[in-house]
């Protein structure tokens, strides 16, 4: 069984430790834990995790957030991975910091990366692991907040939540979407 796990983020050192890059950060942590390396490939950095008889193709799109769908669509087709085996790890303002929510589908909720994936893959029917980044910003400062760096307090606890996200990713590939949602969406 093959899976495509997509971590959303923006390339470049100026975005590296920003809230918007939590998808990249989670996949980087997973790769570090499993001693995987990243390869620069077409439209994405890629890595392969073999886990309990499954192949998890990890990608970090190099298209910038707003064009993430180009990479997702390309790798789905190239690897012949059906949409039900795609999982997108994405930041979410609507969830409190560190809250994780696995969803089988849903709207982009204004997230430009998800909007582009919907446009280029034909709809909203793909799983997403929403990683709460909170919404602690003054009115009109959403972009600064999302593209801002984590606070020290957040950095101190981030590994706990990233490890839980990694558990959810591997569970998605082994026990499936429904059981993973039942176990972790509390």
Question: Catalytic amino acids?
Answer: 20
What's the CA gap between 151 and 164, in Å, rounded? 20
Rg value, the chain, Cα: 15
Q: Which two tokens stand for residue 71?
A: 């990479």
Distances (CA, A) of 3 to 134, 159, 165, 176: 29, 24, 16, 11
Report residue 133: phi and psi, to 5°. -115, 0
Q: Which two tokens stand for residue 146?
A: 């999302």
Q: Which two tokens stand for residue 60?
A: 């970090």
């Amino acid at each position: 069984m093959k899976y495509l796990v997509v971590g959303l983020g923006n390339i470049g050192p100026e975005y590296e430790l920003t809230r918007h890059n939590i998808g990249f950060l989670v996949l980087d942590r997973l790769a570090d834990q499993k001693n995987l390396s990243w390869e620069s490939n077409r439209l994405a950095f890629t890595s392969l995790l073999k886990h309990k008889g499954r192949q998890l193709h990890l990608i970090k799109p190099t298209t910038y957030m707003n064009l993430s769908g180009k990479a997702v669509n390309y790798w789905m087709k190239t690897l012949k991975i059906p949409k039900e085996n795609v999982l997108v790890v994405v930041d979410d303002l609507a969830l409190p910091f560190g809250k994780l929510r696995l969803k089988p589908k849903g709207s982009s909720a204004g997230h430009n990366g998800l909007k582009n994936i919907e446009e280029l893959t034909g709809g909203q029917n793909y799983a997403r692991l929403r990683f709460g980044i909170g919404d602690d910003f003054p009115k009109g400062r959403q972009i600064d907040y999302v593209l801002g760096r984590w606070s020290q307090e957040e950095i101190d606890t981030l590994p706990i939540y990233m490890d839980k996200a990694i558990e959810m990713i591997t569970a998605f590939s082994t026990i499936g979407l429904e059981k993973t949602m039942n176990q972790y969406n509390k």
